[in-house]
Chain A
């Protein structure tokens, strides 16, 4: 009988663990958000985190966007040529970049950079007693470490995605005009004629949510880390893995919600 029930018990443990973890992260996020509306506010720390996310992620996000736009133009041209629909390349590039690839790829890149960095920094502070030290110095660690980073991530990602959208479209334009034989004016006209405000706005909404997820998982993993250097390493890995998976899963949910008819 036990043998029959073992898999059921294991499944139960998994589900309970998952629910417990989700609840703990939700409470962590709620506490951090509550600190955003209660003084004191750490503007200097917000600015530092914002520059770290928005400015220093710019090169990696820009390169990713340019090459994605270029590849997208090449691939869609190859595919559409089979149906004599090459003219739709500009439309496909701009739609794919603004709605999906801009926010998702920028999110994944920033998850690798910022999620890991925040988890490592806060995790090291945890294992070296710096977080306890904050508490003894009349400073709430959630307010000081987590809240400014969450706000910075939520506001910085949409800005990065605006850059990614622009450069992604320009990457497609570059290949379209230099390699695929489109006229520059015609390519841009096709791009902007087809583009709707909702396409860009939906991408920016996704970006804000992804920014929140990345910084939340980075801070959460670091805050809860323990066990010395190995623990910090685990926190860093779990921050990147969890935020990447969540970005992809939440992207589906947001797409279903934003574009449901």
Chain B
């Protein structure tokens, strides 16, 4: 059995079983079952409102699920003490859809925020570390002194990526990493994601509805529809999976089993 940074090859890095979540009468997750292998990159696909982001937030502990199991490295996170949960979160990095950079802090402080918060680095050393991590995402060290509001959308994404990887996590979540970017910048971000995930040997979970991006960054893919996982397979097979819903979604076809609820 091959040992990885956390857990073993036979233990899924993340396992979801029967995950349910409702907001009022609206059922968002209706029994999500999913396993994510260590060191693999999983892409979760789905339309708007299908439950992708809520799934991610449940795994991160930002939203408590109503029912179901979430295991990270074989440990049920619901049974963890506050400190143990914080230790699990310490090993997680997250790239938010809109970057979610802190407006009140310069870029270098955003990048090294976690290291500074944990007291793992001095403020002086954080500047050098930020320059090093910014270089990994193709940004000059001088960007570190800028405010997030001075950055373009693509640069904000790259700074967000730098912040997600600065503490060298072994699980990284990417929430719609290419949304709002032009196709070339989207490909650049995807390339960076693939590079950093490989370099860190991390497990990656991305949620997207960008098919080109899903094929580029994913080893495995799963599709969520109406709060349930309706398919999972290899990301490279997207568009030719044999599942009518997934293929319709991957090809962006109007006609098919997935019907948009449009008022006429």
Contacts and interface: CB of A to CB of B under 8 A. Distances in A.
B196 interface: no
Interface stretch (B65-73, B110-118, B203-211, B251-259): B110-118
B89 interface: yes
Interface stretch (A6-14, A68-76, A128-136): A128-136
B47 interface: no
Nearest to A48: B104
A40 B93 CA distance: 21
A178 interface: no
B90 A132 contact: no
A84 interface: no
B221 interface: no
Interface residues of B, number: 24
Interface string B85-105: 010011011101110111110
A138 B96 contact: no
A78 interface: no
Task: Please classify how large the interface on chain A is, using the bins under 10, 10 to 19, 20 to 34, 35 or more.
Answer: 10 to 19
B60 A129 contact: no
A135 B114 CA distance: 10
A125 B98 CA distance: 12
A136 B117 contact: no
A129 B97 contact: yes
Contacts of A40: 117, 119
A133 B117 CA distance: 13
A177 interface: no
A137 interface: yes
A255 interface: no
Nearest to A45: B104
A139 interface: yes
Interface in B158-198: 163
A150 to B, nearest CB: 18
Interface of A: 40, 121, 124-125, 128-130, 132-133, 135-139
